[in-house]
């Protein structure tokens, strides 16, 4: 049963990854990306995201804010001061926010 549950969530992650790729490929995508991430995410998860973003828009600015404070990332997402927050472990129950540009 745990494998089945994991498979369902893995499928959702793949879907969301594809949606992000499509969204970043749209004209009018902002030319800057601000990311706040825990240090472990900066080292392991962030490089493929940045690589894709660089291929899509090599002139775009990328701002990375490494941190060890998950609550700080949560607050920045809530107040829309960052575009993306990456954490390791359980996700805080803050909902999904999308900023209108």
Is 34 part of a structural domain of the chain?
no
Spatial distance between the Cα atoms of 73 and 70, rounded to a whole number of angstroms: 5
- Least trusted range by pLDDT, from 3-7, 84-88, 94-98: 94-98
Is 2 part of a structural domain of the chain?
no
Q: Are 45 and 86 in contact (CB under 8 A)?
A: yes
Is 15 part of a structural domain of the chain?
no
Is 52 part of a structural domain of the chain?
yes
Is 100 part of a structural domain of the chain?
yes
Is 12 part of a structural domain of the chain?
no
Is 80 part of a structural domain of the chain?
yes
Spatial distance between the Cα atoms of 89 and 101, rounded to a whole number of angstroms: 30
Which pLDDT score is estimated for 12? 87
Q: Residue 61: which pLDDT band, with cuts at 50, 70 and 90? A: confident
What residues make up the domain containing 68? 39-101
**Domain count within the chain:** 1
pTM for the predicted model, two decimal places? 0.54
Is 64 part of a structural domain of the chain?
yes
pLDDT of residue 81 exceeding 70, the answer is yes
């Amino acid at each position: 049963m745990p494998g089945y549950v994991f498979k369902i969530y893995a499928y959702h992650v793949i879907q969301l990854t594809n949606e992000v790729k499509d969204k970043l490929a749209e004209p009018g995508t902002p030319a800057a990306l601000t990311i706040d991430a825990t240090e472990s995410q900066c080292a392991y998860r962030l490089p493929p995201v940045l690589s894709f973003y660089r291929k899509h828009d090599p002139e775009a600015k990328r701002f990375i804010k490494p941190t060890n404070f998950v609550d700080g990332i949560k607050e920045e997402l809530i107040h829309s001061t960052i575009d993306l927050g990456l954490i390791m472990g359980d996700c805080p129950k803050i909902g999904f926010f999308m900023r209108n540009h």
